[in-house]
Structure formats: C-alpha cells, structure tokens
Amino acid sequence: MTRVDAVDESAVRARVAQARTLVVKIGSSSLTQSSGHLDVDRLEAFVSAVARTRLLDARIVVVSSGAIAAGFGPLGFQSRPEDLATQQATASVGQGLLMARYETSFARFGVRVGQILLTAQDTIRAVQYRNAQRTLLRMLDLGVVPIVNENDALASNEIRFGDNDHLSALVANIVRADALVLLTDVDGLYSAPPSTPGAHRIPFVPDVIAVMSAVSVAGSSSGVGTGGMVTKLEAARVAAVSGIPTVLASAREAGPALMGDPVGTAFAPVKPRGSSRRLWIGFAAEPRGVLVADAGAAKAVQGGRASLLSAGVIGVEGEFSAGDPVWIDDEQGRHLAKGLSGFDSEEVPRMLGRTTTQLKRLFGAEFAHPLVHRDNLVLVLRPPSTDVAETPEGSAARHG
C-alpha cells in the first residue's frame, strides 16, 4: 500500500484547522433529548461553532442526523419506532422541525443553509452522483451551508446508508473535502468501552486500518441514534484511504475540534487523495454483477499491475451494461476489486478465456480490449503478505 509520509498529531490537526472545505457530521443523540424532542441548546451550540468557522471563510457541509429522533416525540411516541413505515412518517415530520431550527439558528450569524436529502441510489448511480456533486459544490460556491441527511422518509431497509457516519465519509469524497469532523456524545476513541476499568482515550491514530482490529468498541446504546463507534471508525477508514484527515470528538467540543485543538481523536490519512472517479468506484458504486478471475488473473489484479483481460476470466454473474460497476472475484468467491465493465453481460460469455488476438480475429477490433481496464479498477482486497485488507487501492496497470 502506498502511504502518505509519516505525520504526527499536530500536523494532522493543523490540516483540519487550515481546511478550506470541511464536512461536519453530528449524530441524533447529540441533538435531541431522550424524550425525542430537539434539544435547542445543544443544536444552537453546534450551530454557533459551525457558523463561526464558516465566517472564517471555510466551506462547510453539515451531515445531520435527527429527523426520526426529532419527530417521534411530537408524534407521541415514547421511543424510536421500529417498523419502517412509521419511521418514514416520523422522519417526514422531524426533518421539517430539524431544518426550521437550523435555518433560524444559522440566520443569527447571517449564514444561509439549504437542505439536501440523499438516498443510497444518489451515490451508487454515476449520473445521480454527479448531480449531487454539482449541487453541493455550487451551494458551497454561493456561501451556503448544505444540511445533508439520508432521505429517511423514502429510503428502504434494503438499500440505505444505515447511518450518517458512512454518509458523511461519502459526502467528504463527493465535495473533495480537506477534513472530516465526526461529532458524537463521547469525547473520542477509547482503548475499550469508556466504562471499562483502565480504558483510556486515544488522542491520535496514525493508521485507522490497523487500530480497527486492535481496539474493542461498543455500539450505540442511546436509543435515539443508529450508529456506534464501529461506524465512526469505518467512516474514518474511508476518509483515511481517501487522503482526508478526520477528527472524532464530543459535540460539546465542536468549536475546538474545528480549530484543530487537541480534543477527541485525530486520524491521519494513510494515502494521498485519489481521483473523484476512483473514489466513487471504490466506496459508492454498487456492483451489478461479478466477473470471476482465474488464479493467475486474480494474482495479477491483486498485485496492482494488471487490467482484467478475457483470457483470465472463467465466469460471469448478473446482468449489467458496459460502464456498470462489477465485482472482480477469485475462484473462492472473495471480492478482489471493483471495476467498471467494458462490455454488456450478454457479450462476456463468448469472450471468456480468449486472448486479445483471438477476440480481434473472431469478433472484431472493438472486442480487443480488457473486460475491466486498469484505470477503472479499484482493489478492495490486498494479497495476504500485506497488512491491509478491504481497502480501495490505487490503479492496476497492464503487464508488459
């Protein structure tokens, strides 16, 4: 894995403080009372920190949970509804309450906000991804603070982000943010759940991928939110391998976290920033099918030095069109990479096992190119000899 030069905590926090574009995520438990009503004092304290940073010329996107949590109290529920239809109805009420409060609070600082509700499909499909990116970037250019949330009123359990931690990391990629700040109800990453005797806060993580397997974390127990420390670590991992530094801190310390003060936990990036296209393939694109590589092709792809050629593919699954994302699997069914297919799924079977020369002779010059070109391929599983797994990697280059 190609890593960025070693950095220390002060350098990472300086990058956050100097960030031109930031994504700030705040969770439901940090904005609401246990009854389900919005906690106006908490929300206004958060808005104050964000607005003051915005007025220092930073471009800020807020990813805010809280629609369902804000709605179930006013609707008379004692706790978060469990069935999907009621959650969606509750979100439709709560999102309006949430935005009304944001608009009022930011207006005190002369800052305009706008609402962006996303579904997973908006990041999975290339056209919708570009539309979301274009809108968000234009809002930032106009000095507007986008307030982003998952469209809980329409999202289904089958296809959704599931938590706004993951969404915030994807949004950071969409707007090519310089930093990601995750605000929650704990004051950072601990070596074990904070209630465990001997647990201590970890102020700096140079490699979040390594620490994910070494630190014991707990899920959410607030009864209001859906995330937990695991989802925050995953968001920090996505940011780290996208070249984006992350700070995880208590919402009460939003201002110091945005200013680069030594609060919470800072996570260093582990790679230089990739292209928006490659980041989309690696983290947002939803594969529509599978290409199964033989042992030789799998090794070449994993080595980061090969396009996927027809000669090394032994199977195809699913229905997809040229340009759609697909998994590249080995013969054991492990996902090795994501990539954009160069052909429709119905064209692939007759191409399997054939060399480029054979394809050109049998079917014409338009078939004499890779099933997945190296420029459209992102690794998700490294070879066993490396220390990183399930991490989108750099481009694979054709041998020879």
Question: Residue 171: what pLDDT?
Answer: 93
Question: Residue 223: what pLDDT?
Answer: 40
DSSP for 38-55, written as a single string? B-HHHHHHHHHHHHHHHT
Q: For residue 135, how many other CB atoms are within 10 A of its CB?
A: 14
Domains (ranges, CATH) in the chain? Answer: 9-278 (3.40.1160.10), 287-379 (2.30.130.10)
- Those residues whose C-beta lies under 8 Å from the C-beta of residue 31, and which sit 6 or more positions away, are 38, 39, 42, 43, 46, 64, 65, 66, 69, 70, 98, 251
Question: Residue 75: what pLDDT?
Answer: 85
Burial classification of residue 200, based on how many CB atoms lie within 10 Å of its CB (0-12 exposed, 13-18 middle, 19 or more buried): exposed
Report helix angle 84-107 to 40-54, nearest 10. Answer: 60
Question: For 83-108, what is each residue's pLDDT tens digit?
Answer: 888 888 888 888 898 999 999 999 99
Model confidence at 293, in pLDDT bands (50, 70, 90)? very high
Question: For 159-183, what is each residue's pLDDT tens digit?
Answer: 456 578 988 998 998 999 999 999 9
Average pLDDT over residues 1-27: 83
Is the pLDDT confidence value at 196 over 90?
A: no
**Token digits of residue 147:** 């307030």
Question: Residue 381: what pLDDT?
Answer: 54
Is the pLDDT confidence value at 290 over 80?
A: yes
| CB distance 224 to 69 below 8 Å | yes
- What is the pLDDT of the chain when averaged over all its residues? 83
Amino acid at 71: G
Is the pLDDT confidence value at 384 over 50?
A: no
Question: Residue 159: what pLDDT?
Answer: 44
Is the pLDDT confidence value at 137 over 80?
A: yes
Q: How far apart are CA 225 and CA 243, in angstroms?
A: 28
Give 35 or 151, the one with higher predicted confidence: 151
Strands 289-293 and 313-318: antiparallel
Question: Residue 143: what pLDDT?
Answer: 96
Question: For 223-232, what is each residue's pLDDT tens digit?
Answer: 434 447 888 8
Burial classification of residue 333, based on how many CB atoms lie within 10 Å of its CB (0-12 exposed, 13-18 middle, 19 or more buried): exposed
Lowest mean pLDDT among 55-59, 114-118, 150-154, 371-375: 150-154
Number of H helices, E strands in the chain: 13, 13
Is the pLDDT confidence value at 1 over 70?
A: no
| CB distance 353 to 313 below 8 Å | yes
Is the pLDDT confidence value at 391 over 90?
A: no
Give 339 or 122, the one with higher predicted confidence: 339
Question: Residue 139: what pLDDT?
Answer: 97
Segment holding 357, helix H or strand E: helix 356-363
* pLDDT over 90, % of the chain: 47
Question: For 239-261, what is each residue's pLDDT tens digit?
Answer: 998 899 999 999 999 999 999 99
Is the pLDDT confidence value at 393 over 70?
A: no
Strands 59-64 and 113-118: unpaired
Is the pLDDT confidence value at 385 over 90?
A: no
Question: Residue 398: what pLDDT?
Answer: 32
Give 233 or 156, the one with higher predicted confidence: 233
Of 193, 232, 181, 245, residue with least CA distance to 49:
181
Most confident of 134-138, 193-197, 389-393: 134-138
Percent helix, strand, coil in the chain, to 5, is 40, 20, 45
First CA to last CA distance, the chain: 22
Question: Residue 87: what pLDDT?
Answer: 81
Question: Residue 395: what pLDDT?
Answer: 32
Model confidence at 17, in pLDDT bands (50, 70, 90)? very high
Lowest mean pLDDT among 4-13, 36-45, 175-184, 273-282: 273-282
- Residue showing tokens 């919402």: 251
Average pLDDT over residues 353-371: 91
Q: How far apart are CA 211 and CA 217, in angstroms?
A: 11
Average pLDDT over residues 124-144: 90
| CB distance 27 to 167 below 8 Å | no
- Those residues whose C-beta lies under 8 Å from the C-beta of residue 346, and which sit 6 or more positions away, are none
